[in-house]
Amino acid sequence: MTPPAKRGRYGGTPFTAIKGETGTMGRPIADFPGFVFEGAGALLCALVFVFLYYQSRIVFFGLWAAASMVRLLVAFLGYEAVRLQMWAWLAAYAALGFVFALVLTETGKRSAIAGHAAGWKGWPNVLRAASVVPIAIMPAAQSWPARLDLYPLYQGLLLSLVFFYNFLMLRTNAGLGAHIFRVALLLEAAAPFWQRSLDHPGYYTFAVHCSLAFGAMAMWSENQALRIRDLATELAGARREIDHTVDLDRLTGLLNQSALAARVEACPVFDGVVAVCDMDHFKEVNDRFGHLVGDEILRHIGHLIRSSIRQEDEAFRWGGDEFVVLFHHQPPGVASPRMAEIEARLKDFQVRGFGVLPISFSWGTADGHGRPLRDVLDEADSVMYGRKRARATSQRATSL
């Protein structure tokens, strides 16, 4: 009576030891359903990674796409090697398994997330050298069942190291997608130790492929969301900078007349002191020394005003040689000494090539007391012009 056949599996997987189903003649029988699921999983991963590489041009995804395509071919060659039991198929299966190990080693080295990990720089060379070992030991087996057990065993152990290396290179990413991807890599690394006891390892390998594909898509989605947040932050900063630049007077560096008009419209009640100042006889300065000197004087006044007020206060160039300062939440006794100090410092102003050129300007202040900013500004402007007229009258009387 013929004894019952010993049950087992022969699949085309490149990273698990191939255990075979042997018939009554002792010939291994390939596991076609396992091959179908193995190939379907590899094809799914290949399509997903090709899509991700096309969308992102990230080398990490491109290498995984190449590895998945090679894996699909390896599954087919492994199945045919078991089915036909010919050296040509087994040699091709071993050669592509070698290529698969090399590509996976490169994916870890080129990891887009943690490829800079200093402690693992030498491992790619070690894994490349170890990839030759399964091929080197294959001729040692004398029978087909031994060959189909010996080579996949060493190849599976090698690829366990390769998958674990990829797992380590992704350790700095904290996203959900990376966690799923890393779990799938750990399952791949442990495959030689748990798949040998399964009736149909291809089914479980398909599930691991699906986890890799889902994790990769999640990583890409998280990366895109992060880039969108970064771009939104940069855009908001650029808008603030543009808005700030639009409101600036390029010559003096102070806020311009449009900014002052907007502030008047947006401030129905003002709490603080408004100061308005205007240079005396600025037209004569331009006529005598030229507009370049006039611009230098205005630039100097703008710098002097900015350095003389607090950060929360605001200074504007209202017209050609007229300036406005808003002292927010300040009592009237603070603004007048500040303006007098600026006027005193301008008396020692020096023009390059001309020496000391005393600059005088008239100024006036008005207290807000919760009044509309427009009214306070008009009052300060009236006080300034009253002081200017009084100074002009005094100068004429002195000259007589």
Distance CA 91, CA 26 (A): 22
Q: Which residue has the tokens 């808008």?
A: 239
Structure confidence at residue 25 (pLDDT): 45
Distance CA 50, CA 62 (A): 7
Question: Both tokens of residue 191?
Answer: 């495959």
Structure confidence at residue 192 (pLDDT): 74
* 3-state secondary structure at position 297: helix
- Bridge-partner residues for 323, per DSSP? 277, 317
Question: Both tokens of residue 80?
Answer: 């045919």
pLDDT along the chain (400 residues), means of 10: 37 40 52 82 92 88 91 87 81 84 83 49 67 66 65 80 85 73 87 67 81 88 85 84 77 88 86 90 80 85 88 89 90 84 81 73 87 91 87 67
Structure confidence at residue 147 (pLDDT): 66
Q: Is there a contact between 332 and 274 (Cβ–Cβ < 8 Å)?
A: no
Beta strands in the chain (DSSP E): 21-22, 28-29, 272-279, 314-317, 322-328, 350-351, 355-356, 361-367
Q: Please choose, from the candidates 15, 17, 19, the residue with its C-alpha nearest in 3D space to the C-alpha of residue 30.
A: 19
Q: Please choose, from the candidates 270, 278, 289, 277, the residue with its C-alpha nearest in 3D space to the C-alpha of residue 371.
A: 270
Q: Is there a contact between 223 and 201 (Cβ–Cβ < 8 Å)?
A: no
**pTM of full prediction above 0.75:** no
Instruction: Report the length, in residues, of the chain.
Output: 400
Structure confidence at residue 253 (pLDDT): 87
CATH number for the domain formed by residue range(s) 257-399: 3.30.70.270
Q: Is 381 assigned a catalytic role?
A: no
* 3-state secondary structure at position 272: strand
Which of these is catalytic: 249, 321, 367, 381?
A: 321
CA-based torsion, 140, 145, 151, 154: positive or negative: negative
